Structure 1
Amino acid sequence: MKEFELPDVGEGLTEAEIVRWHVKVGDPVKVNQIIVEIETAKAVVELPCPFDGVVAALMADEGETVDVGRPIISVDDGTAPAPAAAPVPDRVEALADDMVPAVPKEERQPVLVGYGVKMGTAKRRPRKASALQAPAAPSDPSTVPRSVREAAGAGGSVGEDAPPPSRGSEPVTAVRPARGAALAKPPVRKLAKDLGVDLTELTGTGPQGSITRDDVHAAVGTVSSPAVVQAVPAHEERIPVKGVRKATAQAMVASAFTAPHVTEFLQVDVTATMDAVVRLRQLPDFAEVKVSPLLLVAKAVLVAARRHPMINSMWDEVTQEIVVKHYVNLGIAAATPRGLLVPNVKDAHALSLPDLAKALGALAETARAGRTQPAEMAGGTITITNVGVFGVDAGTPILNQGESAILAFGQVRDMPWVVDGQIVPRRVCTLALSFDHRVVDGELGSLFLRDVGAMLEDPLRMLAWN
């Protein structure tokens, strides 16, 4: 019998939601067969099975959020289970370690390091939330945990209010760790930190008294279960913040309050660009790809970034250095049913115009289908957000973390424009460039934006400056 633990499919992810199981109990499975879809903070990912065998149990429900490292499926591979071994605690204070009940070695079951052992069949009695249960002392002093004896010798007896020890008293039982020794997994600790909850003030309801997410939510009075969500008034709705939306919110807050943003605007006559789009659609090289104004905006950004390399850089807070990227992984912000995603075209600077069109089309199709993978969103260097598709003229976009510039491309619409002293109707759009003022000063930002605008006014400049 083998168990498959939820892996970290991204960069340091701590949890994921079970979206859909592809197998059920009793189904045969093979190595590399897709068994489940999970949603991380970055993408929906399909997980393959690492074993051959028969599904013995699904250990997480669809819609459930599971911590990385927790078993999610058990597969009967025809082998006997390996002998269980007691883990060596390495993260819990010594007092909490010693106060774990002693059990025969053959009855111990492996658990997460740092959370003690648990009985194979014994059930823990409900804990009273009002007071801590003091352990009864055994008659043989040698059976008392070392740290407990030392604590008694240093500052009084342990469990002063407990009845005196006697022969035949019950074995030492597990108690809640001392103040400052709260048991909680890293994701729970992070949640408590974000919500300002002191873990040492909580009574855990998890295994061995560990503190769970529900314990933290209960401490601040927030809603954490679907049953409670449904109890809100009919004219209200509560939507759990998780997955991509949660990650996007955290990234936007971190970016907005870390990088000093500056946004500049430029109105551009893009009549020639719109004419070029029509002409490109008629060329054989573009017969099987989508040609839109975004293609020429992307090409203009790539050419302008080559002319002004500092725009395609990042601020390294750790080393206090500016890292200039001599390649462009061009991010395209995409609104999807799962939330805002920013996949990027790798090495976009090296692509021909037809290849760039194909890459943008594939990127959009994958995002709409919800198949964008974490690797496709990592490593971006500069981003374009096409707000014009929503009928919006402009905005003040927030930088994608790790980048120094983002360009918003507004809607193209007919406007009166002065040409050679005459007011004529032209196709006009607004460009908005946000940049990190630690890296990009006003002159550089203005020159970059002006170059992009100039190439959209006259696409031939892309040939001259490329």
Structure 2
Amino acid sequence: MTATMIKEFRLPDLGEGLTESEILSWKVAVGDTVTLNQVIAEVETAKAVVELPSPFAGVVAALHEQPGSVVEVGKPIVSFEVDDAGASNGGNPTAVETKAAAPQPEMAQSQTPQSQTSQAESPEADATPAKREPNLVGYGAVVEETGRPVRRARGLVQAAATTVQARPKSDDVPAERPRSTPPVRKLARDLGIDLQLVPGTGPGGLITREDVQNFTGEPEGTSAVPTAPAATGERETRTPIKGVRKFTAAAMVQSAFTAPHVTEFLTIDVTATMELLTRLKASKAFEGYKLTPLTVAAKAVLIALRNNPTLNSRWDEARQEIIQFNYVNLGIAAATPRGLTVPNIKDADRLSLRELATALSELTDTARAGKTSPSDLSGGTISITNIGVFGIDAGTPILNPGEAAIVALGAVRKAPWVVDDEIAVRQVMSLSLSFDHRLVDGEQGSRFLADLGAILSDPAMVLTMV
């Protein structure tokens, strides 16, 4: 009989030292046969939704976490039964292999997410704490980014795979009680029910909404005390603070209380830009490209930065240095169902207007679908927030942490404007610029805003700046 072993997959650090992720959904079930790099789960970090590929080819032996569970980096989430012949760790320094004889059929059938326990949770492990490996998930050197979107963290997944010896279910090892989903936990809190007392009837003992609703809190054979009917509508709704919203809130608080913000405003006549946009849309050269005021404004920001590079910098507190970037990773604030995200376009300053239009379209579509990768959310150097799409004229945007400036684009409106000493109806926009006063002086911020306004007021002014 072919020897097999159980390989345990621990949740990897999916980017920039993140400490936890939420299991959104499993794409496999216990007993499924999987191939190498097959997507097995979808998880949500504080920055993005990420697909996890399988680091092994084999059979799913146990799923240690339920959808909705928030798991710390380094905790086991799934175990695989693999053939001994194909169980080499491929040089992975964190994969510790232990051979085991092939389990008997009844043993394999008895292993469940609740009954299978990893070495890290065993009494032996408690007596002798495992030593951290140099490249253990969540520790060690940070993987350098290439600047290209990374949809799947395959390298990190391989680093998170460890091997434990297969063993049968034992009554001496207490099984971890299966968790419920966040909506069910909320329902239990609202009803004042302790989930530890509720028997689960869902898959693997999962506590369902029906289990909570049917729970009386009385032992079998006793009658429940009648209670008053529940109100038809809840007076308040509570939503757990987690994921992108939690990360964004912490980042904004840090930015607001770390960088001294200054905001300046400029209202301009953008009639010439809007006319240019109309001509470009009708041009064959831009056929099939999505052009918006944001597209032209983004290009104008990139051009204005050439003469005002201090706005494309970062304050390094730890090293007491000012980092001047010679490239522009342009961040675009995007409102998504998961909260505010600011993905950025790498090396945006090297893109033509058509390339920039394509990049903006792909960025916004990906963000709204919740598929933005962690690499696209990091490394930004300056940002734009387009509040005009909500009908807002101006605001005081908070800096994206680590950046020196952010531009807010207001709504384009028809308004009376003085042209050649006469009142005329023109298309008008307000620009708002917030900047870090440690990095950018008032003169530098004002010159950048003036240059940006000049380009959008008269696109021909670009000839004087390039």
Q: TM-score with structure 1 length normalisation?
A: 0.70
Q: 1:116, CA displacement in angstroms?
A: 7.0
Pairwise CA distance, 1:449: 0.5
- Which residue pairs with 1:315 in the alignment? 315
Match of 1:326 in 2: 326
Change over 3 Å in CA distance of 1:230–1:289 after alignment to 2: farther
Instruction: Please report how far the alpha carbon of residue 346 of structure 1 lies from its aligned counterpart in structure 2 after TM superposition.
Output: 0.6
1:286 alignment counterpart: 286
Match of 1:117 among 121, 125, 128: 125
Distance 2:125 2:318 in 1: 39
Alignment partner, residue 239 of structure 2:
239
Alpha-carbon shift at residue 23 of structure 1 (Å): 0.8
User: Compared with structure 1, are the counterparts of its residues 291 and 21 closer, same or farther at alpha carbon in structure 2 (3 Å cutoff)?
Assistant: same
**Correspondence list, 1:279-428, <5 A:** 279-428=279-428
Counterpart in 2 of 1:82? 98
Find the aligned partners of 1:438 and 1:262 in 2 and give their Cα distance: 10
Structure-2 separation of matches of 1:116 and 1:299: 61
- State how 1:160-199 maps to structure 2 within 5 Å: none
Question: Deviation string for 1:379-400 (max 9, x for gaps)?
Answer: 1000000000011111100000
Structural RMSD (CA) = 2.6
2:190 is equivalent to residue 226 of structure 1 = no
**Deviation of 1:460 (Å):** 1.2
Q: CA deviation at 1:226?
A: 2.8
Choose 1 or 2 for highest CA Rg. Answer: 1
- 2:119 corresponds to which letter in structure 1? P
1:156-202: CA deviations, max 9, x gaps? xxxxxxxxxxxxxxxxxxxxxxxxxxxxxx9xxxxxxxxxxxxxxxx
The Cα shift of 1:117 comes to: 3.2
What is the aligned counterpart of 1:62 among 54, 63, 67?
67
Q: Deviations along 1:291-332, whole A, 9 cap, x unmatched?
A: 001111111110111111111111110111111111100000
User: Residue 111 of structure 1 aligns to which amino acid in structure 2?
Assistant: A
1:34-45 equivalences under 5 Å are 34-45=39-50
Paired residue total: 343
Match of 1:29 among 7, 29, 34: 34
Distance change in 2, residues 1:116/1:243 (3 Å): farther
Go from structure 1 to structure 2 and tell me whether the alpha carbon gap of 1:310 and 1:118 turns closer, same or farther (over 3 Å shift): closer
1:20 corresponds to: 25
Please give the residue correspondences for 1:244-283 in structure 2 after superposition, counting only pairs within 5 Å.
244-283=244-283
1:283 and 1:18 map into 2 onto residues whose CA distance is 47
SS in 1 for 2:258: coil
In the alignment, structure 1 residue 455 sits paired with structure 2 residue 455: yes
Measured in 1, the distance between the counterparts of 2:432 and 2:286 equals 29
The residue identity in structure 2 corresponding to 1:465 is: M
State the SS of the aligned residue for 1:230: helix
Question: 2: CA distance between counterparts of 1:388 and 1:453?
Answer: 16
The gaps in structure 1 that reach 5 residues or longer are 85-107, 120-185, 187-207, 209-213, 215-222
Contact 1:109/1:118 (CA < 8 Å) preserved in 2? no
CA distance in 1, matches of 2:46, 2:242: 7
Matches of 1:109 and 1:252, distance apart in 2: 39
Q: TM-score, normalised by structure 2?
A: 0.70
Higher relative contact order structure (alpha carbons within 8 Å, sequence separation ≥ 6): 2
Which residue does 2:436 correspond to in 1?
Answer: 436
Percent identity of equivalent pairs: 57
2:57 corresponds to which of 52, 56, 65: 52
Secondary structure of the 2:408 match is strand
Q: Which residue number in structure 2 is paired with residue 135 of structure 1? A: none
Unaligned 5+ segments in structure 2 are 1-5, 88-96, 101-116, 128-137, 139-172, 174-178, 193-230
